[in-house]
Structures are given as C-alpha cells and as structure tokens.
Amino acid sequence: MLPGDVLASGELTATGVGEQDVQPLAAGCLSIRGGLAGDPQEFLAASRRTGEQALAERLARAVDEGDLPPGTDTSSMARYVMVVSEGNAVHASTGATREQLHATVDWALKALSSS
C-alpha cells in the first residue's frame, strides 16, 4: 500500500497515527497544565508576577490616557484580572465549557465596571 492509499483507506490520519491511537487534546491553558504537571510553585509564581506586572503597567497607561479614572489601583486591578484568567484556565483544564468560562468573565467585567 502506498502512503496515499493508507490515508485514503482511513487506516491512518494525516499525521500518520491510527485513529484508534489518537487521544483527544487536553483542554485548558498549556502553561497551567504544564505547571500543574510538575513542581509548579516557582514556575507559576514567576509567570503570575510577570503577567501581573505587564498588565498593571498597561492599566497605569490607561489611567494616564484617561481611559481609567485617576487613583485606580492598577496593581490590584491587574491581580484581580489575573486571578479570574488563571482560574478560568484551571477550570478549562478540568472540563468547564466555553459558555461557563464566558459567564465568569461577564461577572468579572460587571465587578470591574461597578468599582
């Protein structure tokens, strides 16, 4: 059988792996799943700090540009957004649906707009 014949027969997928051998892709955030798979403490902490700092800096620029009110605690706001984001990543990796994740974000946006 030639390679094209094998693909046409349905015995192999385009990647060359038999359909019966294909496992569904794991859902969720690759960083979270990777961090949870090993010794996550330092990996997740460093990732969190980097993301929070970058977001806080961007939110501070939004204050300077008038998109957020003066006096906004951009560090706390960034931490809140990251907590929601990371929580959604963990929930996604354990089976939460897209609709459930979007509903969480909707609540978070309501909370931010009321503060």
Spell out the domain ranges in the chain.
24-114
pLDDT tens string for the chain (115 positions)?
343 443 444 444 444 444 444 344 556 666 666 666 666 677 777 878 898 999 999 999 999 999 999 999 999 999 999 999 989 988 888 889 999 999 999 999 999 887 6
* pLDDT the model gives residue 14: 43
Give pLDDT, residue 36.
62
Please, where are the H alpha helices in 1-115? 3-9, 30-37, 40-64, 74-93, 98-114
Q: What SS3 state is found at 72?
A: coil
Tokens of 39: 């010794």
Nearest to 35 by CA among 25, 23, 46: 46
Superfamily holding 24-114: Tetracycline Repressor, domain 2 (1.10.357.10)
Residue linked to tokens 């609709």: 99
pLDDT at 44: 73
